[in-house]
Amino acid sequence: MRVFDFTNAIVREPGQNVIDGLREDRSVAPDFAGVRREHATYVAVLREAGLTVDVLPPLEAFPDSIFVEDPALVFREGAILLRPGAPTRLGEREEMRGALTRHFEQVLELDGDEYADGGDVMVTPDVIFIGMSARTNRVGAEALVKKLARLGRKAKTAETPKSILHFKTAASLLDEETVLATKTMAGSSIFDGFRTVVTPAGEEAAANALRVKDTVLVGARFPRTIDLLTEEGYAVKALPVTEIGKLDAGLSCMSLRW
């Protein structure tokens, strides 16, 4: 089975406090109704693809909790509770515990000073990349390599370019041998051995696409990337992400998939 042939997902509805979420540009505020509509569309698309989606209730105490990918990792073999690198998000992992124990017999955990965000973890057929960033420290990345080994998964650490928030902000898997990446990420040696498709200038945020079965989900506000991927032969579905994009977020971070 291919790494993007998902059958299940966990998502969390946005709370009204989502507009107070972490973001670099504080001058532009997302619209709550818009975030809620975009999230509902996202969930509907996952269901249309045949996934069973567990929708968790909003957490008003945690503005960023819509982005369920950061406090946990999930695989068919089990799940891992992470420790998000932003202090305001650390409590989200405990709120995720119940959902993980419902779905998985084995739930491993990071602890102590081990910090890692799921947005820094990219799964490919042969290896899982763990990008060290402002949200994932070296001790957390190295501990995660060991946890993944317990699930039978090979992983390795990588240096995320300093200008990038999360590893997957700048890269995503298009197929089993091809990566979509920004020029900065593609110019590194991280993806040696992969074919790389580079996002058009000005559409760098499109790099956080999401392959689900035979379709690549891409933000509708990135028309040149959509045209590029279509020309490359991919089945592409455009999703609205304008308001979610104001939270420095993309498509992968809104679900846990396995």
In this structure, the chain runs to a length of: 258
The predicted structure's pLDDT at residue 127: 98
Distance CA 170, CA 181 (A): 5
The predicted structure's pLDDT at residue 82: 98
113: confidence class by pLDDT, cuts 50, 70, 90:
very high
Q: List, in sequence order, every residue forming a beta bridge with 9; answer none if it has no partner.
A: 53, 257
Which position has the token pair 């504080």? Answer: 26
**Rg of the chain over CA atoms, in angstroms?**
17
- Fold observed for domain 8-163+241-257: L-arginine/glycine Amidinotransferase; Chain A (3.75.10)
Q: Mark 206-226 as b/e (b = at least 16 C-beta within 10 Å).
A: bbbbbbbeebbbbbebbeebb
The predicted structure's pLDDT at residue 27: 80
Q: Largest alpha-carbon pair distance within the chain?
A: 47
The predicted structure's pLDDT at residue 29: 85
User: What does the domain layout of the chain look like in residue ranges?
Assistant: 8-163+241-257
Average pLDDT value for residue range 160-189: 95
The predicted structure's pLDDT at residue 72: 98
- DSSP assignment of 5-59, as one string? ---EEEEEPPPGGGGGS--S-TTSPPPHHHHHHHHHHHHHHHHHTT-EEEEEPP-
162: confidence class by pLDDT, cuts 50, 70, 90:
confident
Distance CA 55, CA 78 (A): 19
Average pLDDT value for residue range 166-195: 96
